[in-house]
Structure 1
Amino acid sequence: MHLFKSRTFTPRTFVHCALRIVSPLFIFGISAASTVSAAVHTPGPTVPLCSKQIVFTASYLAETKPGEGIGFLFRIENNAAKPIKLAEPVPSSAHWYARVGNRWLWRASSGQGGSYVDAVNERGPVFAYQPKSAAADPHFITVPAKGNYEWVAHEHDNAALAYRPGCAICNYPGEHEYKAVFAYAYLPSADEHAKDLLPCGLRSNLVIMPPKRESK
């Protein structure tokens, strides 16, 4: 007489049993991770990207004088019927992409405002920078209706422009080809009384950068 009835375990049965054990643990893990993430993640306000009537472009400028640092030529074309006003610094952020095979993958960002809320949706909203209080001596850029505005800025003028396309834990070994996207998204603070500021975000074209080797 057999005290225990034998049971044949097929691959399908094994998977089913394993899922019965793992699934609750997996769900618990996701729930716990979500709780921790929700506790520490505090995203800022968001704004939509501007319509295609407003175009923001950038071009790389090599260093021409010792100590000058790299620079960029920026241009805003305003094809709208009204002038637009932006709070400096413009751009307010830089986003660096590295070449991996045939793809360009995001590696790092600097500055504030202009990051995608959803990286998959390239026409979706972006996070905006909103200071806690108004700047003591604010400066603005105004682009006339049906007009454009061009300027040159170097990394010494705007810290977000510094060529820092990655970090020790986010780069793959051997990466040295990079592109940059420059962005702007700003909302005034509660005590700031600047009128008619651009209520949407801007992101530039992908700017080809010179190869950057790892420093030894």
Structure 2
Amino acid sequence: MLSARHPEAAVHRPGPVVPSCAGLTMTASYLAESTPGAGPGFLFRIENHTAKPVTLAQPVPSSAHWYAHVGGRWLWRASAGRGGALVDAIQEKGPMFAYQPATEPGDPHYMAIPAHGVQEWTELMRDHPAIDYRPSCAMCNYPGEDEYRAVFAYAYLPHAAEHVPNLLTCGLRSNPVVMPLLSTTRR
């Protein structure tokens, strides 16, 4: 669709949006390289405080959002992955943009968490592109950066032909994860 003011410009239509989940929490912790050549990673944990089991479509998390501390403010640096970006950055517990596949997934994988259950796992950055630490770009570096944080997220809506019991249709965001200085994580 073209705009009347700018006939050559397409009208922006944001993707689907989901609310933040109630009764579920996702946390993450940075893990330094423990095996030579393996690289760093993260320990993830999802707690289901509800009386119902939930299922999440892999990958979990589906996105990462990187922030740098400059002076007295936290500034966004970069995002990677799909699903989980905040619709309004001021509302940390607000709605998130969700990933929804355009075609039915060919070989989907899911993670199940029982009612009142916990799922914990480790992901290496090298094995999960959405969590690879990449907040460096010549145009977006801030002078005086001295601390870094990462927030991981998950937000997924199924394809119309995808029927999975207890599939989570709300979004999760992790705690801000303290990251080492950029120079210590470059590979």
Give the TM-score taking structure 2 as reference length.
0.89
2:13 maps to 42
2:51 maps to 81
Q: Which moved more, 1:67-76 or 1:185-194?
A: 185-194
Write the deviation string for residues 51-80 of structure 1: whole angstroms up to 9, x where unpaired: 1x1110000000112221211000001010
Whether the aligned pair in 2 keeps the contact of 1:96 and 1:166 (CA below 8 Å) is no
Q: Which moved more, 1:100-109 or 1:55-64?
A: 100-109
Write the deviation string for residues 66-123 of structure 1: whole angstroms up to 9, x where unpaired: 2212110000010101011000000000000001112211111000000011111222
Deviation at residue 174 of structure 1 after TM alignment = 4.2
Deviation at residue 184 of structure 1 after TM alignment = 0.1
- Report % sequence identity: 62
Q: Matched residues in 2 for 1:85 and 1:166: separation? A: 34
Of the three residues 151, 154, 170, the one matched with 2:124 is: 154
Task: Point out the structure with max Rg over C-alpha.
Answer: 1
Q: Matched residues in 2 for 1:40 and 1:170: separation? A: 27
Q: Matched residues in 1 for 2:174 and 2:79: separation? A: 14
Unaligned runs of 5+ in 1: 1-30
1:162-173 to structure 2, matched below 5 A, reads: 162-173=132-143
Change (3 A) 1:106 1:86: same
Deviation at residue 152 of structure 1 after TM alignment = 0.4
Asked if 1:186 is matched to 2:156, the reply is: yes
Change (3 A) 1:40 1:158: farther
Deviation at residue 192 of structure 1 after TM alignment = 1.8
More helix by share: 1
Write the deviation string for residues 169-201 of structure 1: whole angstroms up to 9, x where unpaired: 222134252100000000111222223210100
Of the three residues 193, 196, 214, the one matched with 2:166 is: 196
Give the TM-score taking structure 1 as reference length.
0.78
Whether the aligned pair in 2 keeps the contact of 1:56 and 1:77 (CA below 8 Å) is yes
Write the deviation string for residues 133-152 of structure 1: whole angstroms up to 9, x where unpaired: 12221111111111111000
Of the three residues 19, 27, 52, the one matched with 1:57 is: 27
- Higher relative contact order at CA 8 Å, sep ≥6: structure 1 or structure 2? 2
SS of residue in 1 equivalent to 2:130: helix
* Aligned-residue RMSD, C-alpha: 2.1
SS of residue in 2 equivalent to 1:150: strand
Of the three residues 113, 121, 124, the one matched with 1:143 is: 113
Q: Matched residues in 2 for 1:175 and 1:40: separation? A: 36
Q: Matched residues in 1 for 2:34 and 2:11: separation? A: 44
Q: Matched residues in 1 for 2:48 and 2:117: separation? A: 5
Whether the aligned pair in 2 keeps the contact of 1:182 and 1:203 (CA below 8 Å) is yes
